[in-house]
Structure 1
Amino acid sequence: MFLFAQCLVAIATLLDLASFQFKSRSLILMCLFSSVLLTSVHFFMLGHASAGSLMLIAAIRYLYCVFARKTWVMLAFMLLSCLAVYFTWYSWLSGLALSATLIQTFASFQKNDLYLRLIMVVGTSLWISHNILVGSPIAVLMESLFMASNLVGLYRFYTPKKLA
């Protein structure tokens, strides 16, 4: 079961790597939807219901954000995430996962892909910490590569290009 869970998150890693190499906000969010859905299954298989629930909600959120970005829906996703953690609380790690999710929820509702990317750096840092503490090496690798991909995308799309 552990090995299969790690394989799912390995596939999610490939989707994460692809996500921030697109300039299109919609393509970024579709890759994130697919990746996070697989990561949700991974956490459920490892017995981490809070993280699995948060990732499932995040997958639905990313899919919604491809098509719309209403503030009241963002607040509803935040409330739903809080309720999910309330009902699945297992330790302070649930609170860490919730913090990461709330930050990434805010990020995914940003109109500008630059702001989405910058805010995601903070949320991703918290998920890396969470995954280290729950002992999922492939999830740590996935989030670390996700961060690296985001930073490469920031560099590619938002640094001035030097003329030859």
Structure 2
Amino acid sequence: MGFFSRFFRIREQDSSSPETTWAVEDNGSELVLDEEYASMLMTEIDIDAAIISHEGWRLQLQDMVHGRSSEVTRPERICQDDRCDLGRWLNGTGQARLGHYPAFGMLVARHRYFHQQAAAVITCFQAGDQTQALQLLNGRCRHASNQVLLLLKELKRGMGQ
């Protein structure tokens, strides 16, 4: 069972049940979202689009570092994790709906860290240090990106998508 699916599993419930409950048969270790609540969350965020957009950022950084792109990106803008669609959702509606769950906090933290590392890659590259930029891209930045993607995919799976 995936990380997020331990916290975000959909289970058939009767209409009188609250939007979230603890599953007694799971020894209280899993949060269960009823189908209606999960459906509402899915209308607020397109997880597939967030995954594609995030992967696009990583590819854009790779193209920049390898000289395949001349697009100028400002690190002071990239380091702001609430400027992209995912970041706006994580820091807004997502936080309001799921922010009290530790797994959600981990997604927010990993997303923020990715933006910080992406800004560091850009800063090094623009300073003329392509070697350091490449090391950061292939190290911390890639690791943070992979974690964000993994957590998004687990969230998607846990919401029944």
Tell me the TM-score normalised to structure 2 length: 0.38
Pick 1 or 2: higher relative contact order, CA cutoff 8 A, min separation 6: 2
Q: Quick check: which has more Rg, 1 or 2?
A: 2
- Greater fraction helix: 1
